[in-house]
Amino acid sequence: MQIEKISGTPKDIEEAFGIPRATLSILRHQGRGPKYSKPAGRILYRFADVEEWIKHSEIKTSDSIEIENVSKN
């Protein structure tokens, strides 16, 4: 039986999402970025929280809005 990982270290997040560890560190120190926990002093991110943060960081362009409007009709 294989157990699916629900959280990962900054290195895991870098590998899974392409967000550099240095960027994650800067965001943490600024009080920004995805939620994280620190059990026993080790920084862990839930993959779902990172995905949610990315989703809410989307910037809609005029082209993407136009495509959404066409898709709705």
Q: What is the pLDDT of residues 55-65, one digit of tens each?
A: 999 888 888 88
State yes or no: pLDDT of 73 exceeds 70: no
How many domains does the structure of the chain reveal? 1
By three-state DSSP, how is residue 24 classified?
Answer: helix
Domain for residue 48, yes or no?
yes
Q: Which domain holds residue 19?
A: 7-72
Domain for residue 28, yes or no?
yes
What pLDDT, on a 0 to 100 scale, did the predictor assign at position 9? 97
Domain for residue 2, yes or no?
no
Domain for residue 64, yes or no?
yes
pLDDT tens-digit profile of 9-57?
A: 999 999 999 999 999 999 999 999 999 999 999 999 999 999 999 999 9
Domain for residue 1, yes or no?
no
Domain for residue 59, yes or no?
yes
Domain for residue 20, yes or no?
yes
What pLDDT, on a 0 to 100 scale, did the predictor assign at position 20? 98
